[in-house]
Amino acid sequence: MNSIEVKGLSKKYKEFQIEDVSLTLPRGVIMGFIGENGAGKTTTIKCILNLLQNDTGEIRLFGKKLEEAEIEIKEEIGVVFDDILFPEPLNPTKINHFMKKLYKNWDVSYYFELLEKFHVPLKKTMKELSRGMRMKLSIAVALAHHPKLLILDEPTSGLDPIVRDEILELFQDFMQDESHSILFSSHITTDLEKIADYITFIHEGKIQFSEEKDYLLEEYAIFRGDDQELKAIPPTAIKGIRRNAYSVEALVKRSEVNTIFSLEKPTIEEVMLFTVKGGALK
């Protein structure tokens, strides 16, 4: 069974829309959901969670429609947005009192264990906590009822590298259970290179590709040279080009390029940028 199935999702606003978005998140998998700010990541996530009403399309979580079994499904989901949404006067201790009434599987001991691990002060109000502390608190809240699925919208944005590594390690620990899954929206592609199994790229409201991370990084490569050398590469192998005053760079399909060329392994960010310039990967 898949944790998330989205088919033909569309949501239209006056000046923006997501169109025909489809993605599948299998159990036991971390999917990185990438795209520039405003590309449609948060809109897609809010539609998945039924926080926004989609115009068309079908969404299933654990094989069920959310509106058919919302309470049951939400017990199995932990959600982290790019900033925590609790009222400013609350502190982590008071949040515990509130959350244990909301979730039947709320684990008080585990919640405070996570806060201690993250060095989150228990008595400081939301207003007094730094952004990093608020994000750690939000992650503790998302994990403390032992969900099977984490849906994360920019959870590491604005955090320093040390804090980001702590959080990524926690997500990897969560994935030790093969029934767990994570949908991880982020524009920090280096984080996703460390832990994601799949990468789904949305641009201007449309999915450009959804592939295994290892496939993307092995199948595609970066060519660096001049225009004369570029002419020796089959046009069908070229997925995007970037020129500067003295040289040319291209994202190419490694299997279609002669081995005489020296090719470099791309980053996820380079695959994303060249795809925008050269069209969707095929």
Chain segment 23-46, per-residue pLDDT in tens? 999 999 999 999 988 899 999 999
* Domain 2-215 belongs in CATH node 3.30.300.30: no
**Two tokens, residue 7:** 């088919």
Provide the whole-model pTM. 0.91
**What is the phi/psi pair of residue 41, to 5°?**
-65, -50
Cα angle 41, 238, 201; round to 5: 10
| Proportion of the chain above pLDDT 90, given as a percent | 66
What does the pLDDT read at residue 282? 52
Helix 131-143 crosses helix 108-118 at what angle (to 10 degrees)? 150
Q: Is 257 helix (H, G, I), strand (E, B) or coil?
A: coil
pLDDT at residue 280 above 60?
A: no
pLDDT digits (tens, 9 = 90+) for 208-261: 999 999 999 999 999 998 888 888 899 999 988 988 878 899 999 998 987 777
pLDDT digits (tens, 9 = 90+) for 51-101: 999 999 999 999 999 888 988 999 999 999 987 778 999 999 999 999 999
Reported residue count of the chain is 282
**Two tokens, residue 162:** 């040390």
**Mean of the pLDDT values across residues 4-17?**
94
CB 156 within 8 Å of CB 148: no
Q: What is the domain partition of the chain in residue ranges?
A: 2-215, 220-278
CB 80 within 8 Å of CB 171: no
The set of residues, in sequence order, having a beta carbon less than 8 Å from that of 159 and lying 6+ positions away, is 131, 132, 135, 167
DSSP label at residue 38: T
CA separation for the pair 40, 47 (Å, rounded): 11
- Tokens 């998998």 locate to 29
